[in-house]
A and B are shown apart, each in its own frame.
Chain A
Amino acid sequence: DTAVSQTPKYLVTQMGNDKSIKCEQNLGHDTMYWYKQDSKKFLKIMFSYNNKELIINETVPNRFSPKSPDKAHLNLHINSLELGDSAVYFCASSKTAGYGYTFGSGTRLTVV
């Protein structure tokens, strides 16, 4: 069983479209995150949720909206996609703050 699963693995879409990425963890962790990894491999936090509540919302465009229907799921919806949104998006979960993350396999988003 995959501990943190993300879908889709690849996403190619045109500028201006709206898309969603789904993430689910079966580890019973309380905390989930979204990170963006750019072409230079830099991992930057976007959002974190603790027990369905938004805790961290870094400076990302408000075109990005996370949703956590329950503590096992954290989805990311992106409106009006732009070329600069092209990156790998990783979902991760941790037992709580101060514990290591388990990452999902990543979603490679390409905006054309």
Chain B
Amino acid sequence: GENVEQHPSTLSVQEGDSAVIKCTYSDSASNYFPWYKQELGKRPQLIIDIRSNVGEKKDQRIAVTLNKTAKHFSLHITETQPEDSAVYFCAASISSGGGADGLTFGKGTHLIIQP
């Protein structure tokens, strides 16, 4: 089955600086890669996703890049703000349409924004 590795497990950055979280996946058939943000005591929420036919996607201060050859994808957050502090999860799955392939999640990155 799919295996997703996520690094680092904890990331501390100064407010206003950029943060980068990296993930690798094992199954070359995986073609859907979402990122989730989970604040303390809350549910994970989808913040951005990318499909394998796209190399990069941006949404305001967040961006995701995908390298299919190397089987890795990254989340980039620019101009970090205190409200960006949370645990971030990457995930991967195979979009086979009509099936119910579950997402395999990375182990999470605790992002801490220092004032």
Contacts and interface: CB of A to CB of B under 8 A. Distances in A.
Interface of A: 30-31, 33, 40-45, 48-50, 55-56, 90, 96-106
Contact count band on B = 20 to 34
Interface stretch (B14-22, B41-49, B59-67): B41-49
B59 to A, nearest CB: 13
**Chain B residues touching A, majority SS:** loop
B107 interface: yes
A90 to B, nearest CB: 7
Interface of B: 31-32, 34, 36, 38, 42-46, 49, 51, 87, 89, 93-105, 107-108
A104 B43 contact: yes
Candidate in B42, B102, B104 with the most chain A CB atoms within 10 angstroms: B102
